[in-house]
């Protein structure tokens, strides 16, 4: 597979995924990047600040999945709200109330509207806490992608306002990093331009100047909005222009690529507590199965990397669907069937990403043509292994409508899928051999945490809420809450999303494949 990929290319792909998670048109983040870069030139910013502006504009929403499940619990479908709130001023209480009323009317039958409005008001009061999860998740994922402290500070301040009314409310005025202030103007200008052209973008920036936006940055934009918005007033994709504007073009080292892709996997899985750890688990299982199947060494690398990103399209589907305990309606099933398509649309940009997509986007295809989203029958061998690994791993995980299956029950169902001509028999055999005879693991030791606290952290890393953790460990929910209050500062996080990412990054949650395909006699299959 092509080994060369640059960080700007991966960052731009994450931006596309975040667009789907924010329910905005694809390439909205790319448009913000180009406008922010043009605005940086207008302001005569230093190369270092322009570099920070470039990457912040692409990754400002990398923490968006951390809030999806909680928002969906209140809203029913958080994507509808995000779709209509790109230009909403969340600090303006009257504007926010009007928006909530219209949202309730848009998404609920008349008799259901009072209860829905009450839930929205609860969400409004909790929005500050939700924003903390988003900001901390963004910082952690940014660090894992190689960001330096200045870039991480930018990510933490993305939702602050010039007048101090933003979230999490720790900075105002010039205490907000300059790259953040530039990207905020660019983001709002792009959103306004989408609905009202150059005039729409200028009107929004003028209206928010001095409240949400830095007045001096706003003035620089308003001096010549046609010039600043010119890069996005084109026909066709903005991808090439964004890559051409990148501050560096050096290919990433293989381990840097793997670290970034694994961070993308965890970014994806934060979408729902039922998905936590799924993408990285499938990646390791598929890579291990490739070794068992005797594939060439490069295929192990391909399958692991494709596994990390195979479900990135899930970000574009409401968390309310992934968390639905009952049967899905036909229209909801159609949305589910779109997520491999979204995966392909996010990755179909460069030779490296296309190579991953050729495998990743086929994980729900079936040999008899009954799969989705393309309904193809001829699948390459790596895609067959990934499909089998995905099915097995999903069966071994809990879902809102069923508990996790035992290894024996999952194996029986996998063989049934072979009999129905859905999955490839050789691929299923490789997957089942890969999970046979797992290596027992002891409870990990984490400095500063008791064994009981480690047990709680493991359950957080599995996506359990406090009540579920209490039932599993024989604790009261209040005990769990108290233990988390002690765990967070010990491991250096402040939110549940942060604790979840801590557990995932350090692999403290027992996985289906206990023996890593990187170790021992299998080291010859390393990149």
* Bridge partners, residue 233, by sequence: none
Residues 161 and 290 in one domain: no
Q: For the purposes of burial, counting CB atoms within 10 Å of the CB of 154, is it exposed (0-12), middle (13-18) or buried (19 or more)?
A: buried
* Bridge partners, residue 209, by sequence: 213
pLDDT at residue 121 is higher than 80: no
Question: What's the CA gap between 257 and 112, in Å, rounded?
Answer: 48
For the stretch 82-116, pLDDT in tens is: 998 889 888 787 887 788 788 788 878 888 888 88
State the chain's mean pLDDT as an integer.
92
For the stretch 133-163, pLDDT in tens is: 999 999 999 999 999 999 999 999 999 999 9
For the stretch 257-294, pLDDT in tens is: 999 999 999 999 999 999 999 999 999 999 999 999 99
Look at residues 30, 51, 48, 40 and name the one whose alpha carbon lies nearest to residue 182: 40
For the stretch 294-305, pLDDT in tens is: 999 999 999 999
Residues 419 and 458 in one domain: no
pLDDT at residue 73 is higher than 90: no
Q: What is the pTM of this model?
A: 0.93
Across 185-206, average pLDDT: 97
Residues 230 and 276 in one domain: no
Sequence-distant (≥ 6) Cβ neighbours of residue 510 within 8 angstroms: 441, 458
Residues 395 and 495 in one domain: no
- Domain end marker among 173, 202, 234: 234
Q: Residue 249 domain-assigned?
A: no
Q: How confident is the model at residue 224 (pLDDT cuts 50, 70, 90)?
A: very high
Q: Residue 495 domain-assigned?
A: yes
Q: Residue 199 domain-assigned?
A: yes
Look at residues 266, 514, 265 and name the one whose alpha carbon lies nearest to residue 407: 514
Residues 416 and 460 in one domain: no
- Domain end marker among 436, 464, 484: 436
Which has more confidence, 525 or 65? Answer: 65
pLDDT of residue 127: 60
Q: Residue 418 domain-assigned?
A: yes
Q: How confident is the model at residue 46 (pLDDT cuts 50, 70, 90)?
A: very high
Question: What's the CA gap between 389 and 291, in Å, rounded?
Answer: 13
pLDDT of residue 519: 36
Q: Residue 338 domain-assigned?
A: yes
pLDDT at residue 213 is higher than 50: yes
Q: Residue 524 domain-assigned?
A: no
Residues 310 and 428 in one domain: yes
CATH code for position 359:
1.10.3210.10
Residues 217 and 325 in one domain: no
Tokens standing for 211?
């409240």
- Report how many domains make up the chain: 3
Residues 364 and 270 in one domain: yes
Residues 199 and 258 in one domain: no
Q: Residue 514 domain-assigned?
A: no
Q: What is the DSSP code (8-state) at residue 63?
A: T
Residues 292 and 222 in one domain: no
For the stretch 423-471, pLDDT in tens is: 999 999 999 999 997 666 678 899 999 999 999 999 999 999 999 999 9
Specify the residue for token string 């190689």: 146
- Give the count of beta carbons closer than 10 Å to the beta carbon of residue 518: 16
Q: How confident is the model at residue 126 (pLDDT cuts 50, 70, 90)?
A: low
Residues 228 and 347 in one domain: no
Strands (E), 2-161: none
| 398, HSE (Cβ side, Cα atoms, 13 Å) | 13
Three-state SS annotation for 359-391: HHCCCCCCCCCCCCCCCCCCCCHHHHHHHHHHH
Instruction: Give the H or E element holding residue 126.
Output: helix 113-144
Residues 280 and 415 in one domain: yes
Which residue range is the domain that position 338 belongs to? 254-436
Q: Residue 192 domain-assigned?
A: yes
Output b/e per residue, 206-221; b: 16+ Cβ within 10 A: bbbbeebbbeebbebb
Q: For the purposes of burial, counting CB atoms within 10 Å of the CB of 244, is it exposed (0-12), middle (13-18) or buried (19 or more)?
A: exposed
pLDDT at residue 171 is higher than 60: yes
* Bridge partners, residue 195, by sequence: none
CATH code for position 460:
1.10.10.10
pLDDT of residue 109: 85
What percent of the chain lies above the pLDDT cut of 70?
A: 94
- Domain end marker among 200, 234, 268: 234
Widest CA span in the chain: 68
CA angle 176, 182, 186 (to 5 degrees): 135
Question: What's the CA gap between 210 and 165, in Å, rounded?
Answer: 11
For the stretch 370-385, pLDDT in tens is: 999 999 999 999 999 9
Output b/e per residue, 171-195; b: 16+ Cβ within 10 A: beeeebbbbbbbbbbbbbbbbbbbe
> Are 81 and 208 spatial neighbours (Cβ–Cβ below 8 Å)?
no
């Amino acid at each position: 597979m092509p080994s060369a990929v640059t960080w700007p290319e991966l960052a731009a792909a994450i931006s596309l995924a975040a667009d789907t998670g924010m329910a905005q048109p694809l390439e909205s983040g790319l448009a913000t990047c180009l406008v922010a870069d043009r605005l940086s030139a207008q302001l005569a910013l230093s190369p270092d600040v322009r570099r920070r502006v470039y990457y912040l504009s692409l990754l400002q929403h990398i923490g968006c999945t951390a809030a999806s499940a909680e928002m969906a619990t209140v809203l029913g479908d958080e994507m509808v709200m995000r779709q209509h709130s790109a230009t909403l001023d969340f600090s303006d209480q009257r504007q926010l109330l009007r928006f909530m009323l219209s949202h309730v009317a848009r998404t609920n039958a008349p008799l259901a509207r009072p209860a829905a409005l009450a839930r929205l008001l609860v969400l409004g009061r909790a929005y500050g806490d939700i924003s903390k999860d988003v900001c901390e998740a963004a910082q952690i994922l940014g660090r894992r992608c190689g960001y330096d402290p200045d870039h991480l500070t930018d990510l933490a301040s993305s939702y602050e306002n010039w007048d101090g009314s933003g979230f999490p409310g720790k900075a105002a005025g010039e205490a907000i990093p300059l790259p953040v202030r530039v990207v905020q103007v660019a983001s709002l200008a792009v959103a306004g331009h989408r609905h009202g052209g150059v005039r729409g973008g200028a009107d929004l920036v003028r209206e928010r100047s001095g409240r949400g936006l830095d007045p001096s940055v706003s003035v620089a934009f308003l001096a010549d909005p046609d010039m600043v918005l010119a890069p996005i007033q084109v026909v066709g994709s903005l991808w090439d222009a964004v890559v051409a504007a990148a501050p560096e073009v050096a290919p990433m080292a293989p381990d840097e690529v793997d670290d970034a892709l694994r961070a993308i996997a965890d970014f994806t899985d934060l979408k729902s507590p039922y998905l936590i750890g799924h993408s990285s688990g499938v990646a390791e299982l598929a890579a291990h199965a490739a070794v068992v199947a005797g594939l060439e060494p490069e295929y192990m690398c391909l399958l692991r990397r494709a596994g990390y990103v195979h479900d990135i399209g899930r970000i574009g589907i409401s968390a309310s669907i992934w968390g639905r305990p009952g049967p899905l309606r036909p229209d909801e099933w159609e949305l589910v069937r779109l997520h491999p398509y979204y995966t392909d649309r996010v990755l179909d940009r460069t030779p490296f990403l296309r190579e991953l997509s050729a495998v990743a986007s086929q994980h729900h295809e079936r040999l008899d043509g009954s799969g989705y989203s393309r309904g193809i029958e001829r699948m390459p061998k790596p895609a067959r292994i990934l499909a089998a690994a995905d099915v097995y791993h999903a069966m071994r995980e809990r879902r809102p409508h069923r508990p996790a299956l035992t290894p024996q029950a999952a194996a029986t169902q996998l063989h049934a899928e072979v009999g129905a001509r859905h999955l490839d028999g050789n691929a299923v055999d490789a997957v089942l051999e890969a999970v046979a005879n797992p290596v027992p693991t002891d409870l990990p030791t984490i400095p500063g945490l008791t064994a009981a606290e480690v047990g709680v952290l493991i359950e957080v890393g599995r996506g359990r809420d406090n009540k579920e953790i209490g039932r599993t460990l024989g604790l009261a929910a209040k005990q769990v809450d108290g233990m988390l209050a002690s765990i967070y500062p010990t491991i250096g996080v402040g939110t549940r999303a942060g604790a979840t990412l801590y557990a995932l990054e350090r692999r403290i949650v027992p996985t289906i494949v206990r023996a890593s395909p990187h170790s021992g006699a299998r080291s010859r299959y390393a990149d």
